[in-house]
Amino acid sequence: MHHLSARCAAILDVAATDIVPELAAASPERWDAFHAIVDLALEERPRGVRRQFAVFLLALALLPLGRFGAPYPRLAAERRRRVLQWLQDRAPGRLRQGFWGLKTLVFMGYYSQGAVAGELAYRPSFSGNEHLHA
Amino acid sequence: MRERNYDVVIVGSGAGGGTVAKELAPLCREGARIAVLEWGAKLTEEEFACPPEGRELAMARKLYFESGGVFNAERTMTMAFGRAYGGSTVVYTGTSLIIPERTVARWAVPGLVSEDLARRSRKVMQENNVHFLEEEALNDNNRLFRDACERLGYRVEQFPINVKGCRGAGLCNLGCPNAAKQGTNRVQLPAAERQGVEVVTNCKVLRIAEGEVLARVANPPWGLPSAWEEGEVRVKARIIVVAAGAVNSPALLLRSHLPVRLPALGRYFTAHPALILVGEHERPISNYFGHPKSFYCDHFAESHGFLLETCMYFPFTTAKNLVGFGPEHSELMRRMDRLQMILVLAVDPALPDNRVTIDASGEPVVHYRFTEGVLDSLLESMKASARIFFAAGARRIHAPAGERFFIEAHEAPRLDALITRRRLLPGRISIASAHLMGGCRMGDDPDTSVTDAWGQVHGLPWLYVADGSLFPRCSEINPYVTIMALADRVAERVRSRLVEGKAA
């Protein structure tokens, strides 16, 4: 990824599989598409926002050290889930907003892939009215 | 620097700018030179026909500022507004309502009366082929909402919409692939161009001053190239009409350092903060086929400050509006064909501190905080929507302020305990806005307003505003028809000013 360091990208990948479990078993092509979408989204954001996102990923990695004794990427899945749940529901404003941003980027990277649509039972058609009463 | 000369320059080509262009176009026959400067691109029909799979991101990048996810300064809300030939009319659903008399009374703008707005609204609605869809064109998502509201005794109405030859692609918010939606890109702008108005795309206006506009042309990697060469251009104009939307119009006026004192400029910004809510049915329903938005419920507008509308969004948009992650989130996402959706719009107050400012480079920054009243409205809207979903037969629902990810149908009597204010944390739940209003509000006092009731900026007879930024308070309904009606008034005033100028 062009807009994240290797360390940040590795943290992102672990968080991505916790947020969208399907990514854990995704093909290399789907991961490539995921990274490309996230990278482009970061590219379109101001440099300050990109920097904030990288700082948030580093904070995410270090946050559990005190409580669980290991950085986020090395925790067991259940503990990682608890860290993310805390970030979503109880963290102070900026951290909570950072997690919202992380989640949004992960969802964008996965759910906006055209190849995923069929697995979501989402198959729109330009002539949708023809399917209304099928 | 290159220079061009016009009598009128209109900044922006959406509901406001497109209407002004079309209304002034007949003056071209008498020799008037009129240009519309639009920041966004004009997409080709092939680009509008981008396949449904993967369309969400591809079209969002081409048609919206920051792909539809512009943050407020507090990072608690995202704002979606269009950037294209046709502005936001390319990406709305075409729901066409006349502003209620009670709202115009609340606006309390001296010289602006409800009857006048209603008359002009009817005119633009006729131009735009506004009508009701027939019963057989309504999908389950819409019918379930209507029937449930009726069962619960909630007032529910059908939306008139502005389509011609709609084939029910359900992709209105990503640009209609069938050229059916009658936005300004299909109606007003082509009509204006036929009469001699020049529409210049990919042209960002940097600053304005009396008699001139400074702009920069830069072609993005999509759409048709601009009619003008790339680079900076000075455009001479006797009259300037700013119709760049409620974020960019105040920002343009602010960075132009106008020679008048306008303390209200940028202030009183409102947004109809919105939630997307979902209920899951046992079996597939028709939801992404057919027009997405056919009904609204204004039952709670006066009592609780929110409106409910039918809607159907795309996978990424849906995913980010669910609070949660992991297996439960994925499980719900794999059932897109069973989801019923409701859009909530909160009726937010116009406050001086909710406002548009500019950063060091002159770009807009929107400062917007939710009041306790708006948060109360959003909480109540989740409960009302849950009752509608369950009355429609949903097996379970997801409420962003829910104590759990899913609330099951048998738990419906306990909604007050299961949907709670402590879970309604800005930054935790996704709150979005597509109805951006205010910032150049109308009024007669230059201390509390920016323009008069005809859109003329106080103290500057050469400068007009003609878009949603004119609203002194929120519109309490989908705003595009009202924007067009106000723009029609602005055009009338500009026309008489031009004629007066000629006579003098």
| CA B279 – CA B151 distance, rounded (Å) | 17
B4: helix, coil or strand?
strand
Nearest residue to B318 via CA among A63, A80, A110: A110
- B442 - beta bridge partners? B451
Handedness of CA B65, B345, B105, B98 (dihedral sign): positive
Backbone angles phi, psi at B285, to 5 degrees: -125, 160
CA-to-CA dists, residue B279 to B282, B288, B408, angstroms:
10, 14, 10
B161: helix, coil or strand?
strand
Q: For residues B107 and B99, is the Cβ–Cβ distance under 8 A?
A: no
| CA B489 – CA B116 distance, rounded (Å) | 9
CB contact (8 A) between residue A120 and residue B333: yes
Exposed/middle/buried for residue A44 (C-beta within 10 Å: 0-12, 13-18, 19+)? middle
B256: helix, coil or strand?
coil
CA-to-CA dists, residue B232 to B203, B210, B213, B262, angstroms:
9, 18, 11, 28
User: Minimal Cα distance from B423: which residue of A?
Assistant: A89
Angle between helices A77-89 and A93-111 (to 10 degrees): 120
Q: Is A128 within 8 Å of chain B by CB?
A: yes
User: Minimal Cα distance from A93: which residue of B?
Assistant: B427
| CA B128 – CA B112 distance, rounded (Å) | 24
Question: Could you identify the residue written with the tokens 């990109």?
Answer: A50
Any idea what the Cα angle at residue B327 is, between residues B321 and B330, rounded to 5°? 45
| CA B291 – CA B269 distance, rounded (Å) | 30
| CA B372 – CA B26 distance, rounded (Å) | 49
- Do the bridges between strand B198-200 and strand B295-297 make them parallel or antiparallel, or are there none, so unpaired? unpaired
User: Minimal Cα distance from B141: which residue of A?
Assistant: A132
| CA B246 – CA B269 distance, rounded (Å) | 8
Chain A residues with CB under 8 Å of B427 CB are 93, 96-97, 100
Backbone angles phi, psi at B63, to 5 degrees: -110, -15
User: Minimal Cα distance from B169: which residue of A?
Assistant: A126
**DSSP labels for B94-117?**
-B--PPPHHHHHHH--TT--HHHH
At residue A75, what is the residue type? L
Instruction: Answer left, alpha or beta for residue B125, where phi above 0 means left and psi between -120 and 50 means alpha.
Output: alpha
CA-to-CA dists, residue B364 to A3, B253, B268, B357, angstroms:
24, 11, 15, 6
Q: Is A116 within 8 Å of chain B by CB?
A: yes
Residue A101 distance to chain B (closest CA, Å): 9
pLDDT score, position A63? 95
Domain ranges in chain B are: 134-159+274-347+371-425
What is the CB-side half-sphere exposure of residue B133 using CA atoms within 13 A? Answer: 29
Q: Which of A89, A117, A125 sits opposite B169 (nearest CB)?
A: A125
User: How many structural domains are present in chain A?
Assistant: 1
**DSSP labels for B58-101?**
HHHHHHBGGGG-EEPTTSS-EE--B-BTTGGGGTS--B--PPPH
Q: For residues B45 and B176, is the Cβ–Cβ distance under 8 A?
A: no
Handedness of CA B79, B80, B84, B86 (dihedral sign): negative
pLDDT score, position B503? 56
Query: What is the percent of chain B where pLDDT is above 70?
Result: 99
CB contact (8 A) between residue B290 and residue A93: no
User: Minimal Cα distance from B429: which residue of A?
Assistant: A100
Q: For residues A26 and A119, is the Cβ–Cβ distance under 8 A?
A: no
| CA B420 – CA B424 distance, rounded (Å) | 7
Q: Two tokens at B68?
A: 């539809």
CA-to-CA dists, residue B312 to B316, B339, B343, B369, angstroms:
12, 9, 9, 27
C-beta neighbour count of B472 within 10 angstroms = 24
**Preferred mutation among A103, A106, A110 to probe B, highest tally of B CBs within 10 A:** A103
Q: Two tokens at B265?
A: 């400029």
User: Minimal Cα distance from A77: which residue of B?
Assistant: B326
> If contacts are CB pairs under 8 Å, which of residues 426-485 in chain B contact chain A?
427-428, 430
Question: Could you identify the residue written with the tokens 């004794």?
Answer: A69
Q: Which of B55, B168, B171 sits opposite A132 (nearest CB)?
A: B168
Please list the pLDDT of chain B residue by residue as tens digits (504 residues): 899 999 999 999 999 999 999 999 999 999 999 999 999 999 999 999 998 888 999 999 999 999 999 999 999 999 999 999 999 999 999 999 999 999 999 999 999 999 999 999 999 999 999 999 999 999 999 999 999 999 999 999 999 999 999 999 999 999 999 999 999 999 999 999 999 999 999 999 999 999 999 999 999 999 999 999 999 999 999 999 999 999 999 999 999 999 999 999 999 999 999 999 999 999 999 999 999 999 999 999 999 999 999 999 999 999 999 999 999 999 999 999 999 999 999 999 999 999 999 999 999 999 999 999 999 999 999 999 999 999 999 999 999 999 999 999 999 999 999 999 999 998 899 999 999 999 999 999 999 999 999 999 999 999 999 999 999 999 999 999 999 999 999 999 999 999 887 655
At residue B78, what is the residue type? T
pLDDT score, position B103? 97
Chain B residues with CB under 8 Å of A111 CB are 315-316, 318-319, 333
Q: Is A92 within 8 Å of chain B by CB?
A: no
Chain B residues with CB under 8 Å of A121 CB are 284, 334-338
Q: Is A48 within 8 Å of chain B by CB?
A: no
Q: Is residue A96 part of a domain?
A: yes
Those residues of chain A that have pLDDT short of 50 are none
Residue A88 distance to chain B (closest CA, Å): 6
Write the ipTM.
0.97
Q: Is B66 within 8 Å of chain A by CB?
A: yes
- Give the list of residues 6+ apart from residue B190 with CB closer than 8 angstroms, or none: none
pLDDT digits (tens, 9 = 90+) for B38-75: 999 999 999 999 988 889 999 999 999 999 999 999 99
| CA B14 – CA B11 distance, rounded (Å) | 10
CB contact (8 A) between residue B171 and residue A37: no
Q: Is residue A28 part of a domain?
A: yes
Q: Is A133 within 8 Å of chain B by CB?
A: yes
**Preferred mutation among A60, A112, A113, A127 to probe B, highest tally of B CBs within 10 A:** A112
Chain A residues with CB under 8 Å of B319 CB are 107, 110-111
How much is the pTM?
0.96
User: Minimal Cα distance from A43: which residue of B?
Assistant: B66
* Three-state SS sequence of B438-488: CCCCECCCCCCCCECCCCEECCCCCEEECCHHHCCCCCCCCCHHHHHHHHH
Domain with A12, as residue range(s), is: 6-122
Q: Is A24 within 8 Å of chain B by CB?
A: no
Q: For residues B52 and A120, is the Cβ–Cβ distance under 8 A?
A: no
**Pairs across A and B, CB distance < 8 A:** 138
Chain A residues with CB under 8 Å of B280 CB are none
| CA B365 – CA A86 distance, rounded (Å) | 30
Q: Is A36 within 8 Å of chain B by CB?
A: no
Give me the CATH topology for the region B134-159+274-347+371-425.
Answer: Cholesterol Oxidase; domain 2 (3.30.410)
At residue B55, what is the residue type? R
Residue A24 distance to chain B (closest CA, Å): 11
- Do the bridges between strand B78-79 and strand B432-433 make them parallel or antiparallel, or are there none, so unpaired? parallel
Q: Is A117 within 8 Å of chain B by CB?
A: yes
Residue A17 distance to chain B (closest CA, Å): 8
Distance of CA B63 to the CA centre of its chain: 13
At residue B248, what is the residue type? N
User: Minimal Cα distance from A89: which residue of B?
Assistant: B428
pLDDT score, position A133? 83
Query: What is the percent of chain B where pLDDT is above 90?
Result: 97
**Preferred mutation among A47, A126, A133 to probe B, highest tally of B CBs within 10 A:** A126
pLDDT score, position B504? 55
Q: Two tokens at B452?
A: 């008069």
| CA B484 – CA B16 distance, rounded (Å) | 5
